[in-house]
Amino acid sequence: MFLKILPRIRRPTRSYAAVLAARHEGFAKVMQSDLMAFENFLGQDAVKKDDITNHTTDWTGQFKGPGSVVLYPKSTEEVSAILAYCSKNKLAVVPQGGNTGLVGGSIPVHDEVVISMNKINKQFSFDDTMGILKCDSGFILEDLDNKLAKLGYMMPFDLGAKGSCQIGGNIATCAGGIRLIRYGSLHAHLLGLTVVLPDEHGTVLHLGSSIRKDNTTLHTPHLFLGSEGQLGVITSVTMTAVPKPKSVQSAMLGIESFKKCCEVLKLAKSSLTEILSSFELLDDATMECLKTNLGLHPVLNAPTPFSILVETSGSNEDHDMEKMSAFLDECLSKNLIIDGVLAGSSAEATKMWQLRESAPLAVTRDGYVYKHDVSLPLENYYELTNVMKERCGSLAKRIVTYGHLGDGNTHLNITSEKHNEELEKLLYPFLYEWVVDHGGSISAEHGIGQLKLPYSTFGKDPEERLLTKKLKNIFDPNGILNPYKTI
């Protein structure tokens, strides 16, 4: 047994706002001649200069940038032409998918050119024997799920933003979601990518393959998985899908302590084994926020400190129901739960999931939200919430925790009526230092983007950070792709 010595945390020397303030003078500004060039190889309808707010502001309203122009390529070849031109002319570029992120990763900071992938969504093929999907990167996640459902399959991950987010953006951010405990991360499913590099040739790379086993070279597609638009623009994705379950069981459990939540998780993993697909946590502050801000009421008879949403996915309803019933009985006999409801219909299951999926919206109704997406060992998972309650509870309107307990990912939300500098000074960098000191990650699934750039070195070896910068220089020699973020 050994202890890993974590790198010394370096506090950011400048504030978040100051880090992002300066425009890099090495980048050119978009001129009329550039707009004419874009129109020449894209067409007039694919170049938009005015009314581009929906591309320069994120859905939370916390990240805004002026941008300069939005381009709508329809193919890999057109993306290549854009990047070759921008690299030769030193024009900074931001690739953008569904614009559903939470860290400002797809929003221009200054006058960058926005490349929207909205129109690259035509090519779709699926091998329903091997379960291998190949599609354009602009497909919306929910649309892919619906297409696959007709063939007896589904996407191996599910997100609250599934109606807007795009598969290319999902790959670029290594999206997590509620099915990770069952199907693993996107690292387990990605097979190949088509990527365009931001060099003076607009080099097109065809990485990986369309077969499940291919060990002939480095697994290069995974360099772009979670790269946040720093290395290249993804235009096509090849990955595995999973069989759509014929039986889905959902249950909401009321639990009196976080320790017992962990005991229930351990029991679920041993009792439900291969059919356990989700294990989500909502604390009492989340339930109160849902009720107050959205009028959504709990499904349990009485309030409890913690609510756990358990879902199973299988192929035999009788078998799965028997397993779930036995699991619930054991939870009761061991006094692990105070109350529990097993959904008797899809409508009841939908009501349970509505509570979990509406939590991100509910907290925004408080006013201003300091959102956190961190991973922690389970013994420290809810300790973070208690530490922050003690530290800044008097200044916060509400401190809410929900998240993917099954994989250690907590979404801690601290709200106030409006942006509060005194509260912010209490939060940062203390919160991220605490997470790293307790063996966690400051970004579990949302990435670094603009929001966490001042803290991106936390918990990472200097040598690893240097390696990422070297890779950035190889793929993006002029540094034009998604500047001011991540790296």
The string of pLDDT tens digits covering residues 470-484 is: 999 999 999 999 999
In the predicted structure, residue 436 carries a pLDDT above the cut 90: yes
pLDDT confidence of 142, banded at 50, 70, 90?
very high
Q: How far apart (Å, rounded) are the C-alpha atoms in residues 345 and 402?
A: 24
What does the pLDDT average to over 302-318? 96
Determine the pLDDT at residue 12: 37
Are domains 124-243 and 366-447 of this chain identical in fold?
no
Residue 16: pLDDT band with limits 50, 70, 90: very low
Q: Is 169 helix (H, G, I), strand (E, B) or coil?
A: helix
- Distance of CA 1 to CAs 4, 5, 76, 322, Å? 10, 13, 49, 41
pLDDT tier for residue 4 given thresholds of 50, 70 and 90: very low
CA distance 7 to 465: 12
Confidence band of 21 (pLDDT split at 50, 70, 90): low
The pTM of this model reads 0.92
Alpha helices in 43-166 (DSSP H): 53-56, 76-88, 141-149
Q: What is the pLDDT of residue 235?
A: 98
Q: pLDDT-derived band of residue 20, with 50, 70 and 90 as boundaries?
A: low
Q: 374, 443 in Cβ contact below 8 A?
A: yes
The structural architecture, per CATH, of the domain 124-243 is: 2-Layer Sandwich (3.30)
* The pLDDT of residue 199 is above 90: yes
pLDDT cut 70: percent of the chain above it: 96
CATH number of 366-447: 3.30.70.2740
- The rounded distance, in Å, linking the Cα atoms of 487 and 465 is 8
Q: Where are the domains of the chain?
A: 124-243, 247-361, 366-447
Report, as an integer, the average pLDDT of 394-405: 97
Average pLDDT, the chain: 93
- Mean pLDDT for the stretch of residues 29-52: 97
pLDDT at 100 over 90: yes
pLDDT band at 62 (very low <50, low <70, confident <90, very high): confident
Q: What is the pLDDT of residues 217-240, one digit of tens each?
A: 999 999 999 999 999 999 999 999
The pLDDT, as a whole number, for residue 39 is 97
Give the confidence band of 10 by pLDDT, cuts at 50, 70, 90.
very low
Q: What pLDDT band is residue 7 in, cutting at 50, 70 and 90?
A: very low
Predicted local confidence at residue 217, as pLDDT: 93
Share of the chain above pLDDT 90, in %: 93
Higher model confidence: residue 17 or residue 325?
325
Per residue in 354-395, pLDDT tens?
999 999 999 999 999 999 999 999 999 999 999 999 999 999
User: 86 or 60: whose pLDDT is higher?
Assistant: 86
- 305 close to 257: Cβ distance less than 8 angstroms: yes
Domain 247-361 of CATH type 3.30.70.2190: yes
SS3 53: helix
Q: How confident is the model at residue 419 (pLDDT cuts 50, 70, 90)?
A: very high
10 Å CB burial of residue 356 (0-12, 13-18, 19+) is: buried
Rg (CA), the chain: 23
Residue 486: the pLDDT is 84
Confidence at 11, pLDDT banded by 50, 70, 90: very low
* Number of neighbouring beta carbons within 10 Å of residue 208: 20
Work out the average pLDDT over 285-289: 98
pLDDT at 487: 80
Chain CA centroid to CA 319, Å: 33
Position 22 scores a pLDDT of 87
